[in-house]
Amino acid sequence: MPIPDYQAIMLPLLKFAGDGKEHSLREAVDALAVQFKLTEQEVKQLLPSGAQERFLNRVVWARVYMGKAGLLESPKRGVFIITKRGRKVLAEKPKALNAKYLDQFPEFVAFRALHRDKNRVEEQAENLSTPEETLESGYQRIRESLAQELLEKVKGASPSFFERLVVDLLVKMGYGGSRKDAGEAIGRSGDGGIDGIIKEDRLGLDILYIQAKKWEGNISRPEIQKFVGALQGKHAHKGIFITTSNFSKDAHEFVRHIETKIVLMDGVTLAGFMIDHGVGTSTAAMYEIKKMDQDYFAEE
């Protein structure tokens, strides 16, 4: 039979998790393949990139969507388990689960809101888009979904893990010299609003002062002023304030009008840099776009 789409997989996947045990994706794929009566060839069918099995990819997306809706959760890496809400949904015995059904859950609505307006425009212009534009649009959707997933994971991590993440990211971005040097600098200061220092370049010609905080709600101007005051106490002129939340409008206005150079890195920006520099992420597939080499066909 044809490989089911990810929405058709949602309810069977939730029922599979209904035993309340932790399951890996591979366990789910094997069980659902039997339920959908897929042949070995169908299960092993690859995406065009050749990087992942098509059925596995659709099971992954079914799990992601139900995770956004709060029906499944991942208590630890590589496994998922049904939630209390997921059990309630099963008890209601729905005939099917799909994105429309999941819209009843606020968390899923918030997730979809990131893409809805863009998707509507894309749907209206679908017949006008070139293949390259369609590919780019798909890439951006996957990136935005990954960024949100990363940010949620970071917010749930311990403060010490967040400090290590900041070290890894700054080193990957070219700051701090070695991982050892950066690790010794970040998280040890605790001096007047400064969480650590890091070299701006590998030679250590200048120093950046770091504030790295997990936060709930917008960070407002007084917090930035406190950080600037700490920098002035060190006769420093450059600093980075990194947070998992957001900065208020007055905080951004404040840093634009002071002599001290302050970079504000909010949660969305943090997640974007993590993707760009491979921190907490790995490459799932690569697509090489080729074009005709006109020089090859040019006759002498």
Statement: residue 181 has pLDDT above 80: no
Read off the pLDDT of each residue in 8-35 and give the average, rounded to a whole number. Answer: 96
Verify that 20 and 85 share a domain, yes or no.
yes
Instruction: Specify the CATH number for the domain of residue 15.
Output: 1.10.10
End-to-end CA distance of the chain: 54
Stronger pLDDT, 88 or 127, i.e. the higher one: 88
Number of domains observed in the structure of the chain: 2
Q: How many CB atoms lie within 10 A of CB 217?
A: 8
138 belongs to a structural domain: no
Please report how many Cα atoms fall inside a 13 Å half-sphere around the Cα of residue 105, on the Cβ side: 22
Could you identify the residue written with the tokens 């520099």?
A: 277
pLDDT (tens digit, 9 = 90+) per residue, 195-246?
778 877 766 677 888 888 888 788 999 999 999 998 888 888 889 999 999 9
Burial of 150 per CB tally in 10 Å (0-12, 13-18, 19+): buried
Q: Is the pLDDT of residue 51 over 80?
A: no
Q: Is 35 within the bounds of a domain? A: yes
Q: How confident is the model at residue 281 (pLDDT cuts 50, 70, 90)?
A: very high
Residues 16 and 79 placed together within one structural domain of the fold: yes
Q: Give the model's pLDDT for residue 295.
A: 82
Q: CA–CA distance from 62 to each of 37, 103, 266, 287 (Å)?
A: 18, 14, 29, 23
pLDDT at 6 (0 to 100): 93
User: Is 245 a member of any domain?
Assistant: yes
Q: Are 20 and 90 in contact (CB under 8 A)?
A: no
Q: Within 13 Å and on the Cβ side, how many CA atoms surround 201?
A: 3
Do 167 and 255 lie in one domain? The reply is: yes
Which residue would you say has higher pLDDT here, 50 or 267?
A: 267
Does residue 270 sit within a domain? yes
Q: Are residues 61 and 163 in the same domain?
A: no
Instruction: Report the pLDDT value the prediction gives residue 83, as an integer from 0 to 100.
Output: 97
Rounded CA-CA distance 51/55 in Å is: 12
Query: What is the extent of the structural domain holding 104?
Result: 6-109
187 within domain boundaries: yes
Residue 23 inside a domain? The answer is yes
